[in-house]
Amino acid sequence: MQRIKSVLNEAARILAASSDSAALDAEVLLCLTLDKERSYLRAWPDKELQPEHAARFWTLIQERQKGTPIAYITGIREFWSRDFLITPDVLIPRPDTELLIELSLKLIPADKPVKIIDLGTGSGVIAITLAAERPHAQVSATDLCLAALRIARLNANKHDTNNIQFYQSNWLANVPHAKFNLIISNPPYIAEDDSHLTQGDVRFEPQGALCAGEQGLSDIKIIADTARNHLETGGHLLIEHGYDQQHPVQAIFKDFHYDNVQTVTDLSGQPRVTYGQWNYSAEATLVASKK
Ligand SMILES: C[S@@+](CC[C@H](N)C(=O)[O-])C[C@H]1O[C@@H](n2cnc3c(N)ncnc32)[C@H](O)[C@@H]1O
């Protein structure tokens, strides 16, 4: 007989070989199967599963056993306390990226129509969170990948944000020539030969969302360079990067003449976001950006 408690124990035992969060994974997948909250599993441990539910549950467990990330199985991931639709076309949003939101919100006044652009929006988590938290802002978001933009638009509708424009663009190349108060990006920044790419969830994520040339720095360089023509005087550029990229990323910002360059650490104490300010006027931007 397949009762809630016994199938959970059995599934956790099976998943323990391939997942660090085996018991939680089993609970999440049973909740998905039964369309119930986790509290239901606790309240009814001896409840017997209907055969179709049991069959569905063991199929999901097999999926997870093959390594498929939980977010791609459930199709949902939480970010800044909102649920976002997730498919294998987009990166699974990370809690570390909430640091970009925290810093951006400090820089954006709540009552002004500031202009913001999120480069490489993926599922749209950054653009949509900022648009929802700052409804007066005019938010733009780009991605090179059309399939990702489709998911981002679905998420924008899901969260009723109507202050976002999406563009298919190679970073800023196809963005109508506008200036922004804030340019923000979580670009691909993993070196192409990084051994982590063959482990865990990242094996299933789009390579175009993860990897960049020049030891993971090539996209950061392009963004820091081209952002100079799109920042208002006094505007900020914020970029997420790898825990070991603080020094090269700071050097890129400084080489491109950004001021007040700082790196902020994430919740685990790792350098995670570097930001700087563009203090040139429009004419001086042209001169400085040619350097
Ligand atoms: C690390 S993911 C970040 C996704 C999302 N912003 C997040 O934080 O979860 C990087 C994103 O950049 C996009 N991307 C990669 N190269 C790009 C390019 N040249 N121009 C625009 N977007 C690009 C990828 O498709 C991917 O969606």
What is the Å distance from ligand 1's center to 109 Cα?
A: 26
The answer for residues whose C-beta is within 8 angstroms of residue 3's C-beta and 6 or more apart is 45, 46, 47, 48, 49
Strand-strand pairing, 271-278 and 259-265? antiparallel
Strand-strand pairing, 190-191 and 180-185? unpaired
With a 6 Å cutoff on the Cβ, whether 237 touches ligand 1 is: no
What is the Å distance from ligand 1's center to 171 Cα?
A: 9
pLDDT in the model for residue 281: 77
Look up the pTM and report it. 0.94
Closest CA to ligand 1's atom 24: 209
With a 6 Å cutoff on the Cβ, whether 171 touches ligand 1 is: yes
Low-confidence ranges of the chain (pLDDT < 50): none
Question: How do residues 262-280 score in pLDDT, each as one tens digit?
Answer: 999 998 999 999 999 999 8
What is the Å distance from ligand 1's center to 229 Cα?
A: 20
